[in-house]
Amino acid sequence: MKHFIVFTSLVIALLSCLRCKEEKLIQKVDPVLRIELQDLEQRKQLDTPLLVLIKANEDFTDVHRAILKKYDVTLHASIAHIHTASMPASSIYKITRFRFIEYIEASKDLMRKQLLTPVPANGK
């Protein structure tokens, strides 16, 4: 019985830790972009390419570029640690797990689209 209690406590602690990590990864994504991702997920269109800004915490090396390419990320332009990129919507949360990704922000066109989208009267 004692082993069961220890095991259960360990499982609960691990699940709590995973949830905290997941929340940290979500915080790496701009709120406007999160809304767009939720919308695309509801419409089952996560293969839709999105233009984004990626803020990195270090210069991209060939290894970083290879990792991003694995997730169908195409880098377009870079200035220091800020990169414009296009990628399928499904890749956005996947690449946030890498330490070199600090933040992913929606492009200005995507922000404008979200800001101009009317909210239905029923709020849904």
In the chain, the domains with their CATH numbers are 29-116 (3.30.70.80)
DSSP 65-85: HHHHHHTT-EEEEEETTEEEE
User: For 22-70, what is each residue's pLDDT tens digit?
Assistant: 667 778 999 989 999 999 999 999 999 999 999 999 999 999 999 999 9
CA distances to 29, 59, 117 from 113, in Å: 17, 31, 6
Cβ distance 48 to 89 under 8 Å? Answer: yes
User: For 12-31, what is each residue's pLDDT tens digit?
Assistant: 554 444 444 566 777 899 99
